[in-house]
Chains A and B, each alone.
Chain A
Amino acid sequence: MSVELDVFVGNTTIMDKEVYQLWLNGYTVNDAVKVRIEGGVMEECEASAEVLLSDTMDQFRTFQMCERLLQNPAKLANQLLFQIPPDRQAMLIERYYAFDDDVVREVLGKKLSKGTKKDLDDVSAKTGITLKSCRRQFDNFKRVFKVVEELKGPLVENIKQHFLLPDQLARDYAAIVFFANNRFETGKKKLQYLTFQDFAFCAGQLINNWTVGAVDNMVEDMDVDLDKEFLQDLKDLKILITDKDLLDQHKSLVCVALRGKTKVFNEMEANFKNLSRGLVNIAAKLTNTKDVRDFFIDLVEKFIEPCKSDKWTATDVNLYLTHYTNSAHILDTFKHQNVWTRYMGVIKSCILRMYHE
C-alpha cells in the first residue's frame, strides 16, 4: 500500500527558502528530509516524517519545473505557469545563480567545456559540495558566458539585464566570464592561496581599465577582451628597463622618496632593478596570449614572492608601488605617461589585493 500520487499546487506557488536551498545544494529528497528533521521543523509544526517527505518531494518537483525558467530568468517574470510574487522571483533567481567560491575557484580561468564539466566530480570530492550542485554552478557559468559572449555593451550591465542578478553577483559573473575568456591560469600551486574574491577583484580592475570597453563602450566583447592597442603600447614601457639611465634615475627617485619611510629600505634598494624589470617585462609580454594567461603567476613570481621573502608588509608594498608609479612621471625622457598610468593603476591594485600577509 502506498501513496502513488501526491501533489499540491497553489495559485501562488509556495516555495520554502530552506527547502529551496537544500535543492540547490543538490540533496536527494531523502537527505533533504533528514536535514529538515535535524533542523527541528517537525517539533515546530507538529509534523510527521511522512508529511515532511511529502512536502519536500512536492517542492523539489516544483523547483525542477521552475528550473527551465530559472535558466532564462527574464522568462520567469512574464511566464504564466507559476504565479510567483516578484520578490520571490528575485530570491529564486539570486539563489539559483549563487555559487560556492570553492567551486568557482576550481574552474576559474578554465575553458567552460565538456571536458571541464567531466572533471567536476574531482571538484565535488575536493570541495565536499555535491556533484549536482557543482554541475548547476558550472552550467550557470557556461550559460552566462554563452549569452554575454555575443552581446555589445558593458559586461556587468549585460549580465544584470539578462539574468536579473543583483550588482555584486553580476560582477562576480563578469569576473568568471572574463577569466574564462582570457583563460587566465589560476590553478598553479603558487596561486592556490588566492581566493575567488581576490581574482574577482583583479578581474574588475582589468575589465574597467584594460579592456576595449574602458575606452569605447559600444563594441562587441568590449569587456571581455583586453584592449589590443593598449597591449601593443605597453611594449613601449620597456624603455624603463632597457635604458640604463632611465632605470637608474627611476631608482634614485624612488629611493629618495622612500628613505626613512620603510623598514625594508635596504632590501628595496637592492631589489629595485629586479622588481622593476619584472613588472615592465610583464607589461611588454602581454601581446602574447600565452603570457596573458600567466599574468597572475607572473605577478606572484616576479613581484610578490621577492617582496615576501624580504618580509615586506602590505604598507611597504603600497608605498613602494605608489612612488614607483609616480616617480616615472617625473622622468623627463619617459614619454608614455598615459600607458604607464593605465598599466600601473591596475598592477598596483591587483598586487595589493594579492599580497596576503
Chain B
Amino acid sequence: MPGKLKAKIVAGRHLPVMDRASDLTDAFVEVKFGNTTFKTDVYPKSLNPQWNSEWFKFEVDDEDLQDEPLQITVLDHDTYSANDAIGKVYIDIDPLLSSEAATVISGWFPIYDTIHGIRGEINVLVKVELFNDLNRFRQSSCGVKFFCTTSIPRCYRAVMVHGFVEELVVNEDPEYQWIDRIRTPRASNEARQRLISLMSGELQRKIGLKVLEMGGNAVVGYLQCFDLEGESGLVVRAIGTACTLDKLSNTYTPATAINPCNSSPSKDIKDSPQAVPSALGCRSTHSSPVHSASSRLSQGFSVSVPTLLFAGMGSGGSAGKEAGPLKALLRQQTQTALEQREFPFFTLTSFPPGFLLHVGGVVSARSVKLLDRIHNPDEPETRDAWWEEIRQEIKSHAKALGCHAVVGYSESTSICEEVCILSASGTAAILSSRFMQDSALDTEHRFEDLMSPGCAFCHIPYDELNMPFPAQLTYCHCCRRYKVPDVLFTTIDLPTEANVTGKGCLIQARLCRTKKKAQGEGNATAISNLLPFLEYELHTQLMNKLKLRSMNALFGLRIQISVGENMLLGLASATGVYLTALPSPGGIQIAGKTPSDITYEQHISNMQKKINDTIAKNKELYEINPPDLVEEVIGSPIPEPRQRSRLFRSHSESSDEVSELDLSHGKKDAFVLEIDDTDAVEDIHSLLTDAPTPPGFYSCNTEIMPGIYNWTSALQMFTSVRVFRLSNVNLTNQGLNKVFNDLCENLLKSLYFKLRSMVPCCLCHVNFTVAVPEDELIQVAVTAVAMSFDKDQTQENGRQSIDKNLMKAITENEDQLQFPLELSAESSSNPLNSAKGLSEVSGPLPSARAPSVDYSSFTDRCSSWIEQLRLKAHTIRCGSIKTMSSLEKASPLPEGRSRSLRSNRSYAGSSVTVVKMTPLSFIPGTKIIKYLGIINMFFIRETTSLREEGGVSGFLHSFIAEVFAMVRAHVAALGGNAVVSYNMKECVFMENPNKNQAQCLINVSGDAVIFVRESELEATPPQPHSASAQTSSSGEGT
C-alpha cells in the first residue's frame, strides 16, 4: 500500500438554487477515488454550505494515484426523487506526488457541469502521504517532474539531457459507444472527461517510467495531444524530452559530472551528410501506398506525403575552403553518440548556452492515413507505427542536412471523417559535443575561441561541396570565417546569443485550397496529392513576405495543415528577423511576361514601386539598418551573382520560362517575382495587403521579440476565436484564399484594437490554430500574450542593461551547468522502445504495419512531383548579396499613443488569488521560485439552449472564461500565482443552431508556478508561499 490520499470537504459557496420552492439547496458531496466513494452529510437549506467534513482517506497504489483524478461531485439531496447533480470537480493529484512540487491542494474550485457550466464553488483540502516503494518492477513513476516549458525550467539546471520520450494510449471514445444512445448528454460528457483524464494520467505515468529507465527525473517540453478519431476511437499521445534536472539552490554546489559519457571518437564515424538527390531545398519523401491493390481493410491505407524541407533556398553557391577539420571531428563525436538513439529529437525550443552549435533548417514530414476502429485498446501498435514512420522520415531529413539531431520538434494531427493527416516538424541541428565526453573539451575550447558566439548557430552544418539542396552560401557577416546560408528557417526560439539587427515581426502565410468531396481512399489520395502544392505555396508566401520585410531568417516556424470535407487550409506562422550573420536579402523584383504592352508595363512598374516602398517602409519600421558591408565583401569569395533569381508560381507550370529573361531593371540580385498569370497578380496583391501593425505594436510567435528588452510587468494573456461561414457554395481557390486571409488579418486587427491601452506593447507567442469544423466553416483560434514595454528608456540602455542581465544569467547558469548529454550506448536505446519495435516487426497484425514504412521506395510515386520541382529548381532562386536600397536611416519609432491604463494592475485587497497566465516560459520582471506541477485539463461543454446562452458567441465566450477560471483555481489551490507555458491545444467547436445545440471541447496545459517580483526578491529572501497560506479562512482544516 504505497500511498494514502486524504481529502476534506470544507465548504461551498454561490451554489445554484436547486429547490424552487424554498429558493435554496440541500447540498452534499460525494468524494470518489478509484472505486471508493465517501459522502458528506447533507447541509440543508443553504447556498453556502459549511460541511467541514472529516478527512476521507483512500488507501491506494501509487499507480492509481498517477492515473486517477480525485472526483468530487456536489449533489442536491432530494427525499422523494433521485438526487440532482449540481456539478463536479476533477482534481489531478499528480503535483502532490513529486516532493519538489506542491504539498497540499487547498482552495476554492469552481463546480463544473458540462451542461450548465460553473455552478458555484467548493473549498477542498487534499493531501497525499507516500510510502517509499522499493519494488523495482513498479508500474508507477511518482516523482518524475513534468514541464510544458520547452526550455530548461528557470529554477533548475540540467545535469543531463537524455532525449526523446514518447508514448500513446488508445481507447474507444465514449461518445461513440452504444450506451451513448441511451444515456444523457451529461453522462456521456462526463464519461469522456473522466476517460481522458484517466488516459492522460496513464500516459504521464508511462512516460515517467521511460524517463526513470533512462535515468532521468524530469520531462521538459511535455506535449500531450488528443486525437478525436470519432468512430475509430480516441488517442492520447505525448512527446517530451527526458532530462535530469537539479534544483538550483542558493548555496552553490559544484557541478558534478554525473555521467561521463563514453561515446568515444573511435566509434565508427560516418561521413556526415549524404548527398540527397533533391532539388531546390525541397526534400521530398514518399512511400508508395499501392492502394490500388489494397483491397483489405482500409486500415492499412496510408499515404506519406512528399515533404518540403525548408532549409532556406538559395542559388548555387561557390565552394569555399573553411577551417573544417576541427568542426568535422566534433561533429563526428556528437553524431556517433546521437546515432545510438532511435530518435535524436528534442522538444526543446531554447537551449542552455553552448548546447546548440549549428542549425541546418526545418525538417518536416506529413502522412495521410485512413482511420479504422481501434480494435484492441491495449495494442496501440498501429498508431505507434504511424508515428514511427514519420519520425524515421524526419530523422532521415535531418541526416540529409548533415545534422545529427532535431530540435524544436513537435507533432500534430488533423482529422476529418476517416482521414487523418499526421505531421511532424523540427529543426535539424548539430548539438554540442562538449557535454558528452572529456576528451572533447580541449578541442572544443579551441574551437569555440574561433567562433563568435552570436553567429555560430547560423554556420552551415552540411558539407558545402555536397549540399543537400542548392543554397547560396556566403561567409558569415559576423565572423567571416564560416559559411552561412542566405536564408534560415527554424522551428526553435531565437537563441539568446544571436546577433539580430532591428526588430522582428510575425510573418504568416495563409492558404486555402478547395478539394472535391470524396470518401475513403479516394479522399486520402486527393489530399495527399494536394499537400505538396499547399506546402510549396506556403513556403513561397513565407519567403516573399520575409523578403518584403527585408529579413533573412524565420524562427518558431509552425505550419498547420487542416483538412475539411471540401477544402484544405494551410497556415504557416513564424517570426521573421534579420540575423546579422546572414547576408542582407535582396529586394523583390517583378517581371512581366509580355513586356510589349505598355499599359501592362505601367502596371508592373507601379507594382514594383509599391513593393519597393513597402520594403523601405518595413526597414524603417523594424529598424533594420545592417552595417553596409558591400565594400568589405568585395574581397571575399562571394559567389558571383550571375544567375538571375526568379520565383515561379507553382501553378505556372510552363517550364519553358526557364530561359533567362534579360530585363534591364538593373537589379540583378533581386528576388524576382514573375507575373505570368492571374494567380501571381493575386499573390503580389496579397503580399501588399498584409496590413502593417499599428504604431506601438509588435508581434511575434516566439518567446521573446528581438530588439525589445525593457518589458514592464503588464501582461494580458488572451484567447480569441472566430468562425467564418462561407455561404457561397462555389468558391474558387482565390476567393477562398482571400476570405481566409481577411479572416486572419481582421482577427489580428481586432486584437490590436482591443489591446490598444497597453501600447507600446508586443504580442508574443501568437499561436494561431485553424480548423474546418464543418463543410462551410473556417475556425481560427489565437492564443497569445500582450506585454507592455517601456519606451521611455532609450533602446540602447535597455539593451545594455538587459544584455548585462542576460549575461549574468548565462554565466550564472554556466557555472552550474554541466550539461552532459547522455548519449552513451547503454542508456541511449530505450529498452521499451526497441522491444516494442521488435514486437511490431513480428507482430501478428500485418495491417498494423502500413506499407509506407518502406523507405527505399519512397521516390517512386512522387517522382513526377519531384520532376516538377526539379524543373523549377532552375527557376526558383532567391537571395542576393547586395541590399536593394540604402535609403534606410535610423528612424524614431512611430509614437504610440500611450494610455496609461496600466495602473489597473494593482490587485491589492482582492479576496481571490490573482493568477497570471502566459504562454511564455517566464514573466518579465519576476523570478519563478517554484514549479508546482503540470496543469493538463480537458473540458467538455454542451448546451441545448444555445439561443438562451447568447448564441454561439455567448456560449463559447462563457466556456473559455470558465476554462480560464478553472485553470486559475487549480493553480491557486496548489499555492501558485501563475501559469507559464500555457497552451490551448484543442478547441473543437460544433454547433447545430437548428436544434439550438452546441458542443465544445477544450484542452489546455501549462506549468503552475510561484513567482516573486524581482524587486521583492532583492528586498527579502525568497519565501515560497506555502499552499496553506493561500487557504481561505474557512479552509483551515483540523
Seen from chain A, the residues whose Cβ lies within 8 Å of a Cβ on chain B are 1-14, 16, 44-48, 50-52, 54-55, 57-58, 61-62, 64-65, 75, 77-83, 85-88
Q: Mark B894-938, 1 if CB is under 8 A from A, else 0.
A: 000100000111111111101111000000000000000000000
Neighbouring A residues of B757 by C-beta, 8 Å = 16
Given contacts A45-B694, A80-B912, A81-B961, contact A4 B917 (CB under 8 A): no
Instruction: Mark the stretch among B219-227, B679-687, B714-722 that contacts chain A.
Output: B714-722
B754 touches A (CB below 8 Å): yes
Instruction: Give the Cβ gap from A94 to chain B, nearest Cβ, in Å.
Output: 15
* B718 in contact with A47 (CB, 8 Å): no
The distance in angstroms between the C-alpha atoms of A5 and B727, with both chains bound, is 14
* A7 in contact with B960 (CB, 8 Å): yes
New A-B pairs, 19, CB < 8 Å, besides A5-B779, A61-B953, A81-B962: A1-B739, A3-B743, A4-B777, A5-B721, A5-B723, A45-B756, A46-B694, A51-B746, A51-B753, A55-B753, A61-B957, A62-B957, A64-B954, A78-B911, A79-B14, A83-B912, A83-B968, A85-B904, A86-B907
Question: What are 27 A-B pairs at a CB distance below 8 A?
Answer: A1-B727, A2-B727, A3-B724, A3-B743, A4-B952, A5-B722, A5-B956, A6-B722, A6-B953, A7-B957, A8-B718, A8-B750, A8-B754, A9-B961, A11-B964, A11-B968, A16-B757, A44-B897, A47-B749, A51-B750, A64-B950, A64-B954, A78-B108, A82-B961, A83-B964, A85-B905, A85-B910
* B753 in contact with A10 (CB, 8 Å): no
Instruction: Give the Cβ gap from B784 to chain A, nearest Cβ, in Å.
Output: 11
Given contacts A52-B753, A64-B950, contact A86 B908 (CB under 8 A): yes
List residues of B (1-37) whose CB comes within 8 Å of A's CBs: 13-14
The closest CB in chain B to the CB of A65 belongs to B958
Given contacts A81-B118, A86-B910, A87-B906, contact A65 B957 (CB under 8 A): yes
* B720 in contact with A4 (CB, 8 Å): no
The distance in angstroms between the C-alpha atoms of A77 and B912, with both chains bound, is 7
The closest CB in chain A to the CB of B989 belongs to A5
Neighbouring B residues of A48 by C-beta, 8 Å = 749
The closest CB in chain A to the CB of B909 belongs to A86
- For chain B, the count of residues having a C-beta within 8 Å of the partner chain is 65
The closest CB in chain B to the CB of A59 belongs to B754
- Which of A4, A9, A65, A87 is in CB contact (< 8 Å) with B718? A9
Instruction: Give the Cβ gap from B920 to chain A, nearest Cβ, in Å.
Output: 13
Neighbouring A residues of B952 by C-beta, 8 Å = 4-5
The distance in angstroms between the C-alpha atoms of A323 and B897, with both chains bound, is 62
Interface of B is mostly: mixed
Neighbouring A residues of B717 by C-beta, 8 Å = 10-11
List residues of B (765-788) whose CB comes within 8 Å of A's CBs: 777, 779
The closest CB in chain B to the CB of A77 belongs to B911
* B723 in contact with A3 (CB, 8 Å): yes
* A55 in contact with B727 (CB, 8 Å): no
Neighbouring A residues of B755 by C-beta, 8 Å = 14
B110 touches A (CB below 8 Å): yes
List residues of B (957-993) whose CB comes within 8 Å of A's CBs: 957-958, 960-962, 964-965, 968-969, 989
B725 touches A (CB below 8 Å): yes
Instruction: Give the Cβ gap from B315 to chain A, nearest Cβ, in Å.
Output: 39
List residues of B (718-756) whose CB comes within 8 Å of A's CBs: 718-728, 739, 743, 746, 749-756
Instruction: Give the Cβ gap from B963 to chain A, nearest Cβ, in Å.
Output: 9
Neighbouring B residues of A11 by C-beta, 8 Å = 716-718, 915-917, 964, 968
Neighbouring A residues of B739 by C-beta, 8 Å = 1
The distance in angstroms between the C-alpha atoms of A51 and B756, with both chains bound, is 12
Instruction: Give the Cβ gap from A313 to chain B, nearest Cβ, in Å.
Output: 48
* A80 in contact with B110 (CB, 8 Å): yes
Given contacts A5-B723, A11-B716, A83-B915, contact A45 B961 (CB under 8 A): no
The closest CB in chain B to the CB of A47 belongs to B753
* B728 in contact with A1 (CB, 8 Å): yes
The distance in angstroms between the C-alpha atoms of A75 and B694, with both chains bound, is 38
The closest CB in chain A to the CB of B720 belongs to A8
The distance in angstroms between the C-alpha atoms of A85 and B720, with both chains bound, is 21
- Which of A45, A46, A88 is in CB contact (< 8 Å) with B904? A88
B167 touches A (CB below 8 Å): no
The closest CB in chain A to the CB of B998 belongs to A5
* A4 in contact with B749 (CB, 8 Å): no
The closest CB in chain A to the CB of B903 belongs to A87
The closest CB in chain B to the CB of A13 belongs to B961
The distance in angstroms between the C-alpha atoms of A125 and B722, with both chains bound, is 39
Neighbouring B residues of A51 by C-beta, 8 Å = 746, 749-750, 753
B121 touches A (CB below 8 Å): yes
- Which of B719, B724, B958 is in CB contact (< 8 Å) with A1? B724
* A61 in contact with B716 (CB, 8 Å): no
Neighbouring B residues of A2 by C-beta, 8 Å = 724-725, 727
The distance in angstroms between the C-alpha atoms of A3 and B756, with both chains bound, is 23
Instruction: Give the Cβ gap from B1024 to chain A, nearest Cβ, in Å.
Output: 23
Instruction: Give the Cβ gap from B957 to chain A, nearest Cβ, in Å.
Output: 4
The distance in angstroms between the C-alpha atoms of A83 and B969, with both chains bound, is 11
The distance in angstroms between the C-alpha atoms of A6 and B746, with both chains bound, is 11
The listed residue with most A CB atoms (<10 A of its CB), out of B722, B727, B950, B989, is: B722
The distance in angstroms between the C-alpha atoms of A75 and B721, with both chains bound, is 28
Neighbouring B residues of A86 by C-beta, 8 Å = 906-910
The listed residue with most A CB atoms (<10 A of its CB), out of B694, B725, B915, B964, is: B964
The distance in angstroms between the C-alpha atoms of A3 and B778, with both chains bound, is 10
The distance in angstroms between the C-alpha atoms of A1 and B739, with both chains bound, is 9
Neighbouring A residues of B954 by C-beta, 8 Å = 61, 64-65
The listed residue with most A CB atoms (<10 A of its CB), out of B717, B916, B956, B961, is: B961
* B754 in contact with A55 (CB, 8 Å): yes
* B904 in contact with A87 (CB, 8 Å): yes
Instruction: Give the Cβ gap from B664 to chain A, nearest Cβ, in Å.
Output: 39
The closest CB in chain B to the CB of A50 belongs to B746
Neighbouring B residues of A82 by C-beta, 8 Å = 961, 965
The closest CB in chain A to the CB of B779 belongs to A5
The listed residue with most B CB atoms (<10 A of its CB), out of A9, A44, A65, A79, is: A9
* B965 in contact with A81 (CB, 8 Å): yes
Instruction: Give the Cβ gap from A259 to chain B, nearest Cβ, in Å.
Output: 60
Neighbouring A residues of B989 by C-beta, 8 Å = 5
The listed residue with most B CB atoms (<10 A of its CB), out of A5, A12, A77, is: A5
The distance in angstroms between the C-alpha atoms of A85 and B121, with both chains bound, is 20
Neighbouring A residues of B752 by C-beta, 8 Å = 45
* B723 in contact with A4 (CB, 8 Å): yes
The distance in angstroms between the C-alpha atoms of A64 and B724, with both chains bound, is 24
* A55 in contact with B750 (CB, 8 Å): yes
6 smallest CB-CB distances across A and B, nearest first, come from: A5-B723, A10-B718, A9-B960, A11-B717, A7-B957, A8-B720
Neighbouring B residues of A57 by C-beta, 8 Å = 953
Given contacts A1-B727, A9-B719, contact A80 B121 (CB under 8 A): yes
- Which of A3, A44, A62, A64 is in CB contact (< 8 Å) with B722? A3
Neighbouring A residues of B14 by C-beta, 8 Å = 75, 79
Neighbouring B residues of A88 by C-beta, 8 Å = 904
- Which of A14, A75, A83, A87 is in CB contact (< 8 Å) with B754? A14
